[in-house]
Copies of this chain bind each other. A is one copy, B any other.
């Protein structure tokens, strides 16, 4: 008799975005003439750049011709792209071998699927607030117990708050897998070398593995901040890094990412190379490679003109971030992030909770953001705004906040 995986029943229903949709729908019914400016979702809006477009068209033409047509690719990714990624890391001082780089269809699936190579009873630590995928995939994989007071039992939540600059202390207890996201979604905080070093030391001392999500690394402009965990000594023996072309080059819908599992990464009971081989096996068994159309697009992003064009995209979004920060600060709202990250993490004014401020901002200023509490209990009292919008929208939103929001 077939039975379902009961762990799915522990999952909280996807409350955040449906609830936002419900409230905006009701707003529209109440205010038929009004237009909401949406700064909630972290989705890119600028088109792919010319160098990328050219390479994509070329690859389509290759597939139109029997002489250049290609079928199944390598599950681990096109060797040229793996090498290009290794070279990209070298450009900021990190030595990675091409065969430690696994190309994928994005950071989201990788950050969920990576749990497959570790034991079912692994204890997972996450930052709170947190990108929900790390937690939900742990729930599905049976690594948690019940949901109580906004948290799953069995997961170690590491508080991120104003006091610690939204980067957590190392766990007090022993954990097995530690998710760190820097630049952070949702808080926009970026970990320093010293902060990451503390986690690397913890990982060595406790034989833990760090899963480092660097999907927003390209938004770091401060040269003193690490763009990869492998910039810190000792990371190659305890950390896996997951990243993506999504925000680097507007590939959110195109789907291309990568995961680095160093040969040297070893945990007790394994020899160096074994964890890398497990991920290799997982991907060869359960994945069939990123699209052959898309991978040359990634190569184009990493070319000299491609990187220059991507930097222009990033500069555009970061100029939005500044407008948002300034606009909020002007009306007396305290902000965090948004300097080396495309997310602005705003403190709700007057002690409002996240949803109260959501309603106020929508009803008075006609601006939609994301309530911080949607990313976990630690996000209560905060609010996320995204810089990935069109400039005109961003300016319109900030003007409306200045004129219409009464705090």
Contacts and interface: CB of A to CB of B under 8 A. Distances in A.
B3 A109 contact: no
A112 B285 contact: yes
A48 to B, nearest CB: 5
B48 A5 contact: no
Interface stretch (A85-93, A116-124, A325-333, A358-366): A116-124
Interface stretch (A39-47, A158-166, A216-224, A342-350): A39-47
A357 to B, nearest CB: 25
B176 A1 contact: yes
Nearest to A117: B5
Interface residues of A, number: 82
B45 A71 contact: yes
A142 B118 CA distance: 12
Contacts of A60: 48, 53, 56-57, 60
Contacts of A8: 117, 278, 281-282
Interface stretch (A19-27, A61-69, A149-157, A370-378): A61-69
Given A2-B267, A8-B282, A255-B291, 19 more contacts: A1-B176, A2-B122, A3-B122, A4-B270, A8-B117, A8-B281, A41-B72, A43-B71, A46-B69, A71-B252, A72-B252, A112-B286, A120-B142, A137-B285, A253-B291, A254-B292, A291-B293, A291-B294, A293-B293
